[in-house]
Chains A and B, each alone.
Chain A
Amino acid sequence: MSVTAYLAIGVFAVTYVLIATERIHRVAAALGGAAAMVLIGAARGHTVFFSQDTGVDWNVIFLLLGMMIIVGVLRQTGVFEFLAIWAAQRSGARPFRMMVLLCLITAGASALLDNVTTVLLIAPVTLLVADRLGLNPVPFLLAEAMASNIGGTATLIGDPPNIIIASRAGLSFNDFLVNLGPIVVLLLVVFLALAWVLWGRHLRVDPARAEALMSLRGADAITDRRLLGRLVVILVLVLAGFVTHSLHHIEPSLVALLGAGAAVLVSRLDHAVYLDDVEWETLVFFAGLFVMVGALVEEGVIGQLASSVTAAVDGRHLLATQGVLVGSAALSGLVDNIPYVATMSPLVQDLVGHSTTMTPQRGALWWALALGADLGGNATAVGASANVVILGIARRNGSPISFWSFTKYGLVVTAVTVAVCVPYLWLRYFVLG
């Protein structure tokens, strides 16, 4: 390897430590790392801007931007609040039933939209219904954060790591749905059983307080029914656009941007309202990461690493798959899963080869990476953005959740859900595949 390659490894390692330890803000660290890559000559303008493999992956950035704008418009309608109150009332004020319904709504919304916004909208309603019933909201909030991370695993757009994997591997929305959808359904069933053991069996509510819940006027949460109707149509069309990609070959990022444009047009909202929901920091963070990882690819570091790993794997794909699953889950609990997946993707790509020539055994590595990174986010309070958001909301509302009180449940949930994935990957891709 060249001197530049060694310098690039140094820059990458320092930046990664800064991101993982949060010594400086992750956006500043990623942009600083990207700038250093340019200064040492490892990243160049034509690759940074115009190469999907070694520069900024605009498909990822614009898919995220489009979906953020759609959610920004949709949240103005109050539909999330309506759904959560409807679920709580539908449960007949029975706490565990209420937890199940809220978790299913959270998981479903996280699969179709993004999970941070989902928990941001479901959590305040959860606090409201818990307050009405005189229940401790903490078990509900914990369950929702974890359901959101599990639900988001099911689709290409559900969790940012999946978007990176999809773009890098050339996998479609349907690939994710077909390969991860079934296991996520199973994981949700297992998670809800765990939720009963961890929290549900301890929940008690005073029957006299049920009336306070039933008196809430959930339908009044919807501020604009006409707009909601139009947005539902747009969302269905966007999802149809993702599902029918093989027919029209329009990139998911463009489908999302078309949907965002249509949502803005029909809503006639002021730009400040829907742009307020765009997480610009996340988008810039992604760009910085792509430049850094691209520099490693450009300098041949990833290729060399992939050769070493390929030699070590020596055709033992099952072992490699289970190693990626468990290793990704462990690492994603400790560090942000976005930089982890951004770094691992080119490596896995070298191991797997192009999607058109991918065997089920080799392809299993991508699913192991997605499952490990997404489910590992449940392990600790800082493992996923949704967890951090839930902790912040709980603290501001006088029900603080400490790092360890999240983590002691998160570790159990992660261990069990990852354990369920081990036989799934083996059966589906190595026995039946």
Chain B
Amino acid sequence: MIAADLAENIPTVLRETLASEAARVIAEYRLPGLIVADDAGVPIAVVPGSQLLAVILPQYVREDPALAHVFGERDADELCAKLNDTTIGALLDAQKLVAKELPSVLPDDTVLEVAAVMVAEHMPLIVVRGEDGTYHGAVMLSRALAAIAARAGQDSELMRRRLERDLLPPPPPSATGPAGAGSP
């Protein structure tokens, strides 16, 4: 199995997407991270999902995690609502989200090459691009591990389904970016 086989079409977000909407997309599709696309729907950056979690935490809680204990439910509601006040672009500009410049592999790269890039970049989500820059989709950690587990002799209905069915249907041939690109 090569990278092109592992690549699937996954939802992307735009710079203008609200942070709360981006969180919803991650939750709905169980994504390990966000692919940020430009206005034409072409992916420009990848952000690990955990960074979006950090956005709701004030810096002082990140410096002293013990302070998270002192917040009640009402305080938590207030902090979570902050995701409605900002966009992915604003968070990237303020460096509250630190995007990785598209960690990518070539379509004919092997599973080992996919694993090597994921490990080196500490990214559970990488894109597959041709040498001419053509976007072929993204490889998620779960699918890469499904392929690896299959090679190790593991087998199950769920695992086979994960390898055979893409998260989203493939984009129409005329589209420049992946189906579902842009604000979901």
Point out residues on A near B: beta carbons under 8 Å: 78, 81, 85, 121, 123-125, 127-128, 131, 212, 215-218, 220-221, 223, 393, 396-398
Contacts and interface: CB of A to CB of B under 8 A. Distances in A.
Size category, B interface: 10 to 19
B72 to A, nearest CB: 5
A124 B63 contact: yes
Given A215-B74, A215-B75, A220 B60 contact: no
A119 B66 CA distance: 15
A212 B75 CA distance: 8
A396 B16 CA distance: 26
A220 B75 CA distance: 14
Given A215-B72, A215-B75, A216-B72, A221 B58 contact: no
A217 B69 CA distance: 7
Contacts of A125: 60, 64, 67
With a 10 A CB-CB cut-off, give which of A78, A123, A124 has the most chain B CB atoms: A124
Contacts of A81: 64, 66-67, 70
Contacts of A397: 58-60, 63
Closest 3 CB pairs of A and B: A124-B60, A124-B64, A127-B60
A216 B72 CA distance: 7
B64 A121 contact: yes
Interface string B49-89: 00000000011110110110111101100000000000000
A81 B69 CA distance: 10
Given A78-B69, A216-B71, A398 B59 contact: yes
Interface in B71-126: 71-72, 74-75
Contact of A127 (B58, B66, B71, B75): B58
A128 B63 contact: no
Contacts of A220: 69-70
Contacts of A131: 58, 60
B63 A393 contact: yes
Tell me whether chain B's interface is mostly helix, strand or loop, or mixed: helix
Contacts of B61: 124, 128
24 contacts: A78-B66, A78-B69, A81-B66, A85-B70, A123-B60, A125-B60, A125-B67, A127-B59, A127-B60, A128-B58, A128-B61, A128-B70, A131-B60, A215-B74, A215-B75, A216-B72, A217-B71, A218-B70, A221-B66, A221-B67, A221-B69, A221-B70, A223-B69, A393-B60
Given A131-B58, A397-B59, A397-B60, A124 B67 contact: yes
Contacts of B63: 124, 393, 396-397
Contacts of B72: 215-217
Contacts of A221: 66-67, 69-70
Contacts of B69: 78, 217, 220-221, 223
A130 to B, nearest CB: 9
A127 B70 CA distance: 13
Contacts of B74: 215
A137 B53 CA distance: 25
Nearest to A132: B75
A373 to B, nearest CB: 29
A216 B60 CA distance: 15
Nearest to A82: B70
A393 B67 CA distance: 15
A429 B75 CA distance: 55
Interface string B26-67: 000000000000000000000000000000001111011011
Given A125-B60, A221-B66, A221-B67, 14 more contacts: A81-B66, A121-B64, A123-B60, A124-B60, A127-B59, A127-B60, A128-B70, A131-B58, A215-B72, A215-B74, A216-B75, A217-B70, A217-B72, A397-B59
A178 to B, nearest CB: 36
A216 B71 CA distance: 6
